[in-house]
Structures are given as C-alpha cells and as structure tokens.
Chains A and B, each alone.
Chain A
Amino acid sequence: GESVGLHLPTLSVQEGDNSIINCAYSNSASDYFIWYKQESGKGPQFIIDIRSNMDKRQGQRVTVLLNKTVKHLSLQIAATQPGDSAVYFCAEKAGYSTLTFGKGTMLLVSP
C-alpha cells in the first residue's frame, strides 16, 4: 500500500550546523504534510505544516520544502541546537483521510 518513509534513520550534526531531514511519500493524492518532533518520553510536538499548493514554508529556524514532482518533503533546521535532538516524523494526509506517519529520523546534535 502507499506509505510515508524516511531516507535516514539517524542524523548526527554539530551544534550550529544546519540540518536537513528528508521524507519520501508515495500517495500522490496527499495534500497536507506535517513535521513533528518527539523528544524522549514525550508526545509528538507540532513543528510546521505545508499544504500541497505550496512548495516552501518557513517558521522560526525551520523551513519545510515540498517537491510534488518527486514526492519529497524535507525539514531544514537552521543553526541546530542541542535542544533540537529528538526523533522527527513526517506525516501526510489526503483530504479527509487519516494522518499517516513515517518511521522517524533521529537527530543527534553534539555541542
């Protein structure tokens, strides 16, 4: 069936570097995408979302890019900090369907 997946299970960066977390999706009908951050022992925390009528959206230190041609989603974190260390999930939704999560990428930030 169609699903959402991540290319890299673990990403290690140095404090101050920019981080890029990637996500591939296969459901061409998906029109809404979300990035969540999940710290150990906590529930997923909303970071940023984007709808399919956009290809870029920026938040505070984060940018989400959507490439519908190749069904690719990325989360860019500028000036990564140790507090950014967590597992990051992308999730997709098509219309009124349920939100489908990928498996997650662990981001490790070294001071």
Chain B
Amino acid sequence: EAGVVQSPRYKIIEKKQPVAFWCNPISGHNTLYWYRQNLGQGPELLIRYENEEAVDDSQLPKDRFSAERLKGVDSTLKIQPAELGDSAVYLCASSLVAEETQYFGPGTRLLVL
C-alpha cells in the first residue's frame, strides 16, 4: 500500500514569493492533516480536514496561508507571500478517521531566502 505522498520534496524561494505544497493521502483515509515542523521541534498542526471540510484551522496563519482539499482526497497548502520565518518542513499526514493513527508523508523542506 502506498504511503502519504508529498511534493515537492524541497523548495527554495525568495521572501515575498508564493509557494505551494501538494499532498496525496493514503487511499481511503478521510482525515488529512498539515503540520509544520521547525528544526529540533515536534510537528505542530496547521489544519485538519475531515473529507473536504476544514474542521480545525485555528493554528493556520490565515493572512498568508491557505489550504484546500477538493473532492476530499488530495490537498494543497499555499503560502503567499512567504516570509523568512516560514522556513521549515511541511508535513502532511492522514488517518482513516480522526481517532485513528496518523501516518506521515516525507515532508516538503522549505527554505525562504
């Protein structure tokens, strides 16, 4: 069974530029999560989707971050414009339902110069 797929794996951009990350969850998983992980820290939740509905986006900086999960499968996380402090690893995870174990993708490593 394929795991969570993310792309790109690495991204280097200049500040004020836009950037987008894509995630394909494990087949059949209804719940999808976006996390941000800073160096040496644990992942921190940005947004959680139940199917196509964002049910927890309280930690998403909505002035510059946006996300969508059209048709309740793939998801895209966007930052516009990017700031230096956005440099981090952006992880996508999915679970069968919210109560079940979350499985993570490899992450997208973003460097903002």
Contact = CB atoms under 8 A, between A and B. Distances in A.
A96 B104 contact: no
B53 interface: no
Contact of B102 (A4, A99, A104): A99
Interface string A79-111: 000000000010100001011011110000000
B44 interface: yes
7 contacts: A34-B101, A43-B107, A44-B91, A96-B99, A101-B42, A101-B43, A104-B40
A61 interface: no
B4 to A, nearest CB: 7
Nearest to A46: B101
**Mostly helix, strand, loop or mixed at chain B's interface?**
loop
A104 B41 contact: yes
Given A42-B106, A43-B106, A44-B91, A103 B101 contact: no
Contacts of A49: 101
A45 interface: yes
Candidate in A36, A45, A99 with the most chain B CB atoms within 10 angstroms: A99
B45 A44 contact: no
A101 B104 CA distance: 13
B24 to A, nearest CB: 14
A43 B3 CA distance: 11
Interface residues of A, number: 19
B43 A44 contact: yes
B42 A89 contact: yes
Interface in A1-54: 4, 34, 36, 41-46, 49
A43 B105 contact: yes
A96 B98 contact: yes
Nearest to A44: B104
A98 B48 contact: yes
B103 interface: yes
B14 interface: no
Contacts of A91: 42
B104 to A, nearest CB: 4
Contact of B45 (A36, A43, A99): A99
